[in-house]
Amino acid sequence: MITTLEIEQHALRLPEPQRAQLATRILDSLPPRLIDADDGHAEALRRSNELDTGRATALSQRELDEKLAINANALAALASIRAHAKRTGLDRMTDHEIIDIVNDTRRRRRETARRVTPSSAAATAPLRAL
């Protein structure tokens, strides 16, 4: 009688396409596993349902990469601000307080950039003519 170890050794010597075909046939012969100890299957079904019903939208890989980059930049900025706060003794600030300060600073910078004084408008007029 041939042992499982001998079958495995013979199978591993097969060319890759034949090993893949054999692996597929063996996996297909097993019953489906519907119970996931960490509820990963249930989570996948929930997300699939959200996509199907329009309650969620899918992201392209590019969109996901952009969002991750933005989040990474935000985390880096938060770490920098927290380090500054520690150096200046303001390290008791919560993340939300820091975010409020950052957003307020950004808002003020945008407002300042929108305001054009008469002298700066006159200085840039020759550039706009080009």
**C-alpha to C-alpha distance for 95 and 82, rounded to whole angstroms:** 9
Q: Report the amino acid identity of residue 19.
A: R
pTM, entire model = 0.31
Q: What is the pLDDT of residues 62-86, one digit of tens each?
A: 888 888 888 888 888 888 888 887 8
Q: What is the pLDDT of residues 40-68, one digit of tens each?
A: 778 888 888 999 999 988 888 888 888 88
Rg over CA atoms, the chain: 30
Is the pLDDT assigned to residue 110 strictly greater than 70? yes
Tokens of 96: 């939300």
pLDDT at 18: 92
Helices 61-88 + 95-114 axis angle, to 10: 100
Tokens of 4: 């499982």
